[in-house]
Amino acid sequence: MSKSTQSPALKTDLRPATIAIVGVGSVGATTAYTLQLSGMVADIVLIDINKDKAEGEFMDLNHAAPMTTETQVRVGDYPDCADAAIVIITGGANQKPGQTRMELAAKNAKIMEEIIPNVVKYAPDTILLIATNPVDVLTYASYKLSGFPASRIIGSGTLLDSTRLRCNIGRYYGISSDSVEASIIGEHGDSELAVWSRATIAGMSLAEFSAATQQKYNKESLHKIFEHTRDAAYNIIKRKGYTAYGIAAALTRIVEAILRDEGSLLTVSIVGNYYGVKDVALSVPTKVGRDGAHHIMDLILNQDETDRMKSSAKKIRSACESLGLD
């Protein structure tokens, strides 16, 4: 947003904030740019083991600053997290074509063992926002490594998946995704599930909306929509090698909910007890505001969805146990 079009609400609704980003690869750099364009934060600190990469991104972002907002960008190290309201963790190995997110677990859990204690040392009151995959496992790992309350360890979870689902449903029905209420919950990965029993358009179930608009309600087509949503990252990585724009937008949305103290219900991942499975990180609609994220309810699901949700939770729990994260 340019200075000339910046709204008064943007200036008054937000407290000046520093955001630190640990890991300035494709996701970290794109997130920094998205935050810079948003004008929501005063200061962005870039931290990366590759100092030259961080310096290069800093220089490039600085050249965009005069044409965007007055957000300051700088290169720093862990001590520079001290004033950060939120520390976004994007560092870690990238998912390769054909590789599942869970196959990254051991490697990226080791990286978290280096990152999290260093952040906590200098920023004991910050909120950690985890984007590195497998995000649910690493959200749990960060919870254990940090000693923070669960509310201050937020994984990006299935927020992007839920957005993709609403977009795909909107395209299927030929309407704006803004009119669609639908969620992906569970693991951000292969065991995630679409909550079709709670999906609505204009307050109507999909079956009711189909009948009202004289469109065929086709469960097979809806399942294909889910598969397209679930496999989106695989298809993008196969073609360009990585994903960045969607997850950067999702992270910026979470930052906004925190800094504005919105209390928005977002499908982010936090540690809790879900559907009879204890002490696991996964996504359900979760209240997000200035003091972090709080699991306030379990969605009322049908029996099939409940069974699949328990299976998803157990899969994540098993992965955590296999890494010794107990």
- Let me know if 295 is a catalytic residue: no
Residue 113 has which token pair? 């063992």
291 is in an annotated binding site: no
48 is in an annotated binding site: yes
Q: What is the dihedral of CA 235, 247, 20, 133, to 10 degrees?
A: -50
180 is in an annotated binding site: no
Gap between the Cα atoms of 304 and 309, Å rounded? 9
Q: Which residue in this structure is represented by tokens 């504005």?
A: 260
Phi, psi of 220 (to 5 degrees): -65, -40
27 is in an annotated binding site: yes
Instruction: Tell which residue, 58, 301, 55, 81, has the closest CA to residue 197.
Output: 301
Is the peptide bond prior to 134 cis by the omega test (within 30 degrees of 0)?
yes
263 is in an annotated binding site: no
108 is in an annotated binding site: yes
Instruction: Name the active-site residue from 63, 188, 223, 295.
Output: 188
46 strand-pairing partners: 21, 75
Gap between the Cα atoms of 95 and 238, Å rounded? 10
Residue 142 has which token pair? 């960060």
- Residues identified as active-site: 188
Q: Annotated binding residues for NAD(+), as ranges?
A: 23-28, 48, 108
